[in-house]
Amino acid sequence: MAQYEYRVLHMPTTSVSVMNERLNNDARDGWEPVMMSGNEFINVLIRRPVEAEERQD
């Protein structure tokens, strides 16, 4: 079964270009958005797979 590490980003929604840049940079590191919510500030839950040797079972 796949295991993931998660992170929550908290960003203002006043600049879509800054938000896009941040998400694209994180995507290059293997992170993918899972859920987004908010109004003036947006919270984005992102995840990426954990490699077998990184797991803390």
Query: Is residue 56 in a domain?
Result: no
Which structure tokens are listed for 38?
A: 């908010």
pLDDT of res. 51: 80
Residue 29: domain span: 4-50
Query: Is residue 55 in a domain?
Result: no
pLDDT of res. 54: 61
Query: Is residue 9 in a domain?
Result: yes
pLDDT of res. 16: 85
Give this prediction's pTM: 0.79
Q: By the 8 A CB rule, do 46 and 32 touch?
A: yes
- Looking at the structure of the chain, the number of domains it has is 1
pLDDT of res. 12: 87
Where does residue 20 rank: exposed (0-12), middle (13-18), buried (19+ CB within 10 A)? exposed
Query: Is residue 11 in a domain?
Result: yes
Query: Is residue 37 in a domain?
Result: yes
- Which residue stretches of the chain have pLDDT < 70? 52-57
Query: Is residue 57 in a domain?
Result: no
